[in-house]
Structure 1
């Protein structure tokens, strides 16, 4: 497993982050500060991974993702809908199991938290971005 604050996925790719993808053997990668609208995602950057993304509604800010080699079994988020991308596929909306917490409700549109249960192991993984 790996985790990275990419400070913008497109900027990270320009800085050579693609080399990490080409060399990683990680089955799970968590990303923070993806900072990219779903329509602008560089899909080729995620080759070989299933992507679960909460991009949030604040353009150019925040955004968290979890990349897995196998499709996750279960998805939860502060948001009602997250984005799912299968390897070689296009982004689709996925109704996530919503985490309801009155203290965090104000942040549900900011793309700060997503979690998945792995399909091939009894493991829950979360990607969280805190200011």
Structure 2
């Protein structure tokens, strides 16, 4: 069964896509532009672009009507986020002002009228204790950064790869993975704190019981057997609850080990 969204007349709603592309040049080689031609969105938020903008052929995006803003990591071939939009942002900020994260290209802010959109790539913690410690520190620092931001910009949408599966329904094998990074009790507790602080998990809000994943290991046919994790989210400020029209996953897009997540939102 194909997963798709039905186009609506331009201007009635805004459609936002978040997608960890695991290398934008690789995703382009796997037909990303052709897919976007058939699945149009107003705003594209890519994570783990793994490139600077000058080494990527961006003309196909421009032909589709997108302008872009890019926050690459200092380390080549690593991390980085990019936001493509058919709507001109009023204000753009690269990073969050914390050098340890900004050098890794993890947060890109774009403002559209009263709305602030944060395109984020959270650390994974999968390479050992040091990076897990970095991840936990990032979570604390990011929480405080967003708390302060919302004092002047209350309407916030935070999209991206959070690298955490929140509840047992969000992971194919919660028992065996209970001590695995990405599903650790302290990470899940942070997610609960995050949503309790005034954010809505837009997918779960619209699909409370649906089992859907956004990442699958390349090993052992995990994607074919749908043994995945839901670690990509679109969080929406609770004050914008009534502006959420729909949200979903598009697992049939196969340009990465992740699948895209989308939000339809009233401007």
TM-score bracket relative to the smaller structure:
0.7 to 0.9
Q: Which has the higher strand share?
A: 1
| 2:104 is the alignment partner of 1:110 | yes
| 2:80 is the alignment partner of 1:63 | yes
Unaligned 5+ runs, structure 1: 79-98
Higher relative contact order (CA 8 A, sep 6+): 1
> Alignment RMSD, CA only?
1.4
Runs of 4+ displaced beyond 6 Å:
none
For each residue in 1:18-47, what CA deviation from the matched residue of structure 2 results, as whole angstroms up to 9, or x when unmatched? 122212331111000111122201112322
Residue 70 of structure 2 aligns to a residue whose secondary structure is strand
Larger gyration radius, structure 1 or structure 2: 2
Structure 1 segment 19-98 matched on structure 2, within 5 A: 19-47=34-62, 48-78=65-95
Task: Give the Cα separation in 2 of the matches to 1:59 and 1:68.
Answer: 25
| 2:26 is the alignment partner of 1:11 | yes
Task: Give the Cα separation in 1 of the matches to 2:50 and 2:59.
Answer: 17
TM-score scaled by length of structure 2: 0.38
Give the aligned length: 106
Q: Which has the higher helix share?
A: 2
1:66–1:126 Cα contact (<8 Å) kept = no
Task: Give the Cα separation in 2 of the matches to 1:125 and 1:22.
Answer: 23
